[in-house]
Amino acid sequence: MKLDRILPFAKVLLKKSVSEGDVVVDATVGNGHDTVFLAELVGETGKVYGFDVQEQAIATTKERLKQQDLLERVVLFQNGHEHLAAFIPPGEHEKITGAVFNLGFLPGSDKTVVTQAETTIRAINQLLEIMASEGIIVLVIYHGHEGGAAERDALLKHCSQLDQKTAHVLQYQFINQQHNPPFIVAIEKK
């Protein structure tokens, strides 16, 4: 298959916006795969700020970072991404070039603990205020779970209403697959 699948395409987008020395956000660290990827992208002089409400996610991510010798590049917060602007030092705000969200639930954990559109929208709005021009926010939207359709619809409505003078918004998805496949909404700040 020559078309990028969803997760590889998310990485393509992040690679376009993130360079060594940059500041980035993993808004839902989950099992730490994106956190490791981002830590590699920003290099020794960059910083990743990672958020998750679940203790298990923070612990798993911290262990994965230790195994890859990347922990010193990352600051983890067991807190919701809707508070990111308060946790990221103000001096780093204009340096944020990328952010990623994997929405839904933490694989291998309690499927009743899911992301919520309201908190994600607050986080998106904060990022658009504090990130650098041409910074990219990547939302990977998993919507096949209970409440996932409502979250998806609210996020699509919000993102489609973002002023085109302040952001470009892209939707990338396969439209002929069964079982609610995930898709991407990417937002580039102008």
Over the stretch 94-119, which tens digit does the pLDDT of each residue have? 999 999 999 987 777 777 788 999 99
Label residue 157 by pLDDT band (50, 70, 90). Answer: very high
User: How far is it, in rounded angstroms, from Cα 185 to Cα 45?
Assistant: 28
Instruction: Give tens-digit pLDDT for 10-68.
Output: 999 999 999 999 999 999 999 999 999 999 999 999 999 999 999 999 999 999 999 99
Tokens of 116: 């919520």
47-52 and 74-78 as β-strands: parallel, antiparallel, unpaired?
A: parallel
The single residue listed with the structure tokens 């650098």 is: 132
Does position 71 have pLDDT exceeding 80, yes or no?
yes
CA-angle at 29, arms to 82 and 161, nearest 5°: 45
Residue extents of the structural domains in the chain:
6-189
Q: Considering the domain delimited by 6-189, tell me its CATH architecture.
A: 3-Layer(aba) Sandwich (3.40)
Q: Which three-class secondary structure state does DSSP give residue 178?
A: coil
Element (H, E) at 155: helix 148-160
